[in-house]
Amino acid sequence: MYSGVAHVSKVKFFFRQTRFFSAGFWLFFLSFIVLGKDVAPPSPDKSWSPPNLNQYEEALTNKNLYAKTDAAFTADPRKIYDLPELIDIAERSHPETRIAWEQARQAAGAVGLNQSAYYPYLAASAAAGFQHGSAAFLTDVISGNAAQEDALLNLQWLLFDFGGRSASVTAAKEKLMAANMGFNATHQLIVFAVTKNFYVFNTARQKVAVMESSLRAAKTVQDAAQARLDNGLGTKPDELQAEQQMAQADYQLESARGDLSDAQVALVESLGILPTTELQVADVPEKTLTADDENSLDDLIQRALSQRPDLIAKLAQVRASEAEVKKARADFYPKISLEASGGWSKLDIDGYNGPYVGNSKPAYSVGIGIDLPLFDGFLRANKLRIAKSELRAAESELTDSRDAVVREVWKAYTDFKTALHKQDSAEKLLTAAQNAFDAALESYRHGLGNYVDVANAQRNLDAARSVIVDTRSEIFTSSAALALSVGDLAKPDRPNNFIRQPK
């Protein structure tokens, strides 16, 4: 009889629970629909305004949003910055150097993260609970209570894992080396960008000077044509062509000034500061450059293969992949651990409406655990296969990078030598063009030459001046490119001057 009553009670309880969970499910489902509404564009044919877009737009108007902790660079309007000073500004201000620095710090932290596996794991746990139970026996219902309190200190220490932890630490250290070399490579690229833009800016500035000189020459020719016309020795078409040449020179001057403005913005932007920053930049000294014959092409290639940051990073990646293979192999072997716990346990029991009885005593255990997965769905085998494939890929990347470095050094060396050889020809061309223009202009003034000869001589002189400016810029730029290809730009003071693990 009591079993039937109990069964009916269980059925009623089941229906009550079913209604409760059903109501909770529909409430959760409806709330999910409401919260998940309009989280993506409603159609693909036009743009839309996502929820809370105005908050993002308003946040972006804040100039101090995620601002640097360092003080922003402020240009001195009275100072003329030379190339080393501009490089120093870029290395201190460019966001990419800070990004690479943080990445190196993260890699350093990963080393400590993997080294933590050598230490024991210690955790404290506490639990307290109360349980009430009842049972129907004939015509009586008998009840009982139990209360338990536990406080334990658990220790687990991996003693031996067949080199798994060691391989993880080795891989992390090699990745740290790669990150450090990435940091150095970032500095080299920034130094090269600043150097290149510095010479491009000076080239643009010198082009403005060339166009100003061309405008003055055009004005001189125009004055000569006007004088000949006034004296009855010239013609109106010559005077009109001289005026046209004057307008053309003025147009080219304005175009050169626009190029100068663009070059200045590019230079300031390469420094990692606001493009609107105005600063005075030093001129490049106009002197004949000579080649440094102390290092042959083979010497430069060997130096590049031994010190290029990207190659060192590739080698570190190969070694990290080798460690990953060792780690994957270690997973096939057992792991031996020391397991221990100690604490206090208290248990009180109320036996069927009687008084509480119980016991309070210390609890402890110690033992050695061995963990060896027998079957894991080929998980370990696939991990090992992937690790070996990544190792082969890293080795191939290193080989390909070494070949690419050889090609880069060879090309940069050839470009530099070619630019040096062009310098002599450009200087001779400028001298000849200047003499030709002077002679043609003098003849034209005295009525012995015609305007076509003067105009051609002037155009040749303008071209020669542009050639000498471009050649000097090419020499400086190719020299910086050669230093970059060898790995000589922004070299650290010490070979082991890498970022260390933060404390």
Instruction: Note the pLDDT of residue 498.
Output: 40
End-to-end CA distance of the chain, in Å?
73
Residue 497, pLDDT > 60, answer no
Model pLDDT for residues 34-63, shown as the tens digit of each residue:
444 557 888 888 888 888 888 888 888 876
Instruction: Note the pLDDT of residue 181.
Output: 93
Residue 232, pLDDT > 60, answer yes
> Do 190 and 97 touch, CB atoms closer than 8 A?
yes
* CB atoms inside a 10 Å sphere around CB 309: 22
Q: Distance between CA atoms of 63 and 274, rounded to whole angstroms?
A: 12
* CB atoms inside a 10 Å sphere around CB 314: 21
Q: Which of 139-143, 349-353, 358-362 has the lowest mean pLDDT?
A: 139-143
Residue 75, pLDDT > 60, answer yes
Instruction: Note the pLDDT of residue 143.
Output: 66
Instruction: Note the pLDDT of residue 368.
Output: 92
Instruction: Note the pLDDT of residue 214.
Output: 82
Task: Quote the tokens at residue 83.
Answer: 């190339």
Instruction: Note the pLDDT of residue 349.
Output: 74
Determine the average pLDDT of the residues in 109-134: 85
Instruction: Note the pLDDT of residue 16.
Output: 46
Q: Classify 74-119+163-333+379-486 by CATH class.
A: mainly alpha
Q: Which of 179-188, 247-256, 257-266 has the lowest mean pLDDT?
A: 247-256
DSSP element (H, E) containing 370: strand 356-371
Q: Where are the beta strands (DSSP E) in 61-176?
A: 80-81, 121-137, 140-160
Determine the average pLDDT of the residues in 434-453: 79
If phi > 0 it is left, if psi is from -120 to 50 it is alpha, else beta; for residue 152 that is beta
β-bridge mates for residue 367, sequence order: 339
Instruction: Note the pLDDT of residue 109.
Output: 92
Q: Which of 37-51, 77-91, 267-281, 457-471 has the lowest mean pLDDT?
A: 37-51
> Do 157 and 121 touch, CB atoms closer than 8 A?
yes
Closest CA to 476 of 208, 275, 206, 296: 206
β-bridge mates for residue 150, sequence order: 127, 345
> Which residue would you say has higher pLDDT here, 148 or 381?
381
Determine the average pLDDT of the residues in 435-453: 79
Determine the average pLDDT of the residues in 15-30: 53
Sequence-distant (6+) residues with CB within 8 A of 181 are 309, 310, 312, 313, 316
Annotated domain spans of the chain: 74-119+163-333+379-486, 122-160+335-371
Residue 32, pLDDT > 70, answer no
Q: Distance between CA atoms of 221 and 463, rounded to whole angstroms?
A: 17
Residue 156, pLDDT > 70, answer yes
pLDDT band at residue 439 using 50, 70 and 90 as cut-offs: confident
Q: Distance between CA atoms of 201 and 203, rounded to whole angstroms?
A: 5
Report the range out of 34-43, 130-139, 191-200, 448-457 with the highest average pLDDT.
Answer: 191-200
pLDDT band at residue 250 using 50, 70 and 90 as cut-offs: confident
Determine the average pLDDT of the residues in 401-409: 95
Instruction: Note the pLDDT of residue 356.
Output: 62
> Do 167 and 326 touch, CB atoms closer than 8 A?
yes
Instruction: Note the pLDDT of residue 456.
Output: 81
Instruction: Note the pLDDT of residue 220.
Output: 81
Taking the model in full, what pTM does it have?
A: 0.77
Residue 76, pLDDT > 60, answer yes
Task: Quote the tokens at residue 63.
Answer: 């100039």
> Which residue would you say has higher pLDDT here, 97 or 500?
97
Number of residues in the chain: 503
Instruction: Note the pLDDT of residue 302.
Output: 93
Instruction: Note the pLDDT of residue 14.
Output: 40
DSSP element (H, E) containing 280: strand 280-281
Q: Angle 424-427-428 (CA atoms, 0-180°, nearest 5)?
A: 85
Question: How high does pLDDT run on average in the chain?
Answer: 82
Report the range out of 16-20, 109-113, 448-452 with the highest average pLDDT.
Answer: 109-113
Q: Which of 3-17, 27-41, 118-132 has the lowest mean pLDDT?
A: 3-17
Concatenate the DSSP letters of all residues of 441-472 into one string.
Answer: HHHHHTTSS-HHHHHHHHHHHHHHHHHHHHHH
> Which residue would you say has higher pLDDT here, 357 or 463?
463
Percent of the chain with pLDDT over 70: 81
Exposed/middle/buried for 402, CB within 10 Å: 0-12, 13-18, 19+?
Answer: middle
Distance of alpha carbon 96 from the chain centroid = 6
Residue 69, pLDDT > 80, answer no
Determine the average pLDDT of the residues in 406-410: 95
Instruction: Note the pLDDT of residue 501.
Output: 40
Model pLDDT for residues 174-228, shown as the tens digit of each residue:
999 999 999 999 999 999 999 999 999 999 998 898 888 888 887 887 777 777 7
Q: Which of 357-371, 460-474, 485-499 has the lowest mean pLDDT?
A: 485-499
pLDDT band at residue 17 using 50, 70 and 90 as cut-offs: very low
> Do 144 and 327 touch, CB atoms closer than 8 A?
no
Model pLDDT for residues 295-310, shown as the tens digit of each residue:
789 999 999 999 999 9
